[in-house]
Amino acid sequence: MSENVEAAFVAELIRAANQIDKLSDHEVKSLLFRSIVTARDLRETVGIPGSGTAEDAVVKLYDVAMNIDQVDPAARTGALVEAAGLIRDLRIVVESGTKLEYWQPGSEQVI
């Protein structure tokens, strides 16, 4: 996604969060899955690996999306706002030019 497309998507997520009562389960689920893909792509750009644990923001979004029929409107709103913030924050890191590299003991350092 380009910067303008991501900014428009963040705005779409905020609008959706503010109108949660007008959205179907499918619409919220679709927005959350788009958020997950966008966040994953931005993480890869910067070099941030997902932890895959329950504390990972992307995993939390996935859990809400998969159980959308059991999630109350307040939690749906919270997930959409969380997704918007995550994408916005990752976009800032990407724009800063920051790249992360991880070194593990016993491996050659990659430069």
pLDDT tens digits, 40-95? 999 999 888 888 888 899 999 999 999 999 999 999 999 999 999 999 999 999 99
CA distance 33 to 12: 14
In sequence order, which residues have a C-beta less than 8 Å from that of residue 42 and are 6 or more positions away?
6, 87, 90, 91, 93, 94
Residue 61 lies in a domain: yes
Count of structural domains, the chain: 1
Residue 60 lies in a domain: yes
Asked if 87 contacts 35 with a C-beta cutoff of 8 angstroms, the reply is yes
**Tell me, what's the pLDDT at 98?**
84
pTM of structure: 0.85
Domain containing 65 equals 3-96
**Tell me, what's the pLDDT at 79?**
98
**Which amino acid is present at 94?**
V
Residue 106 lies in a domain: no
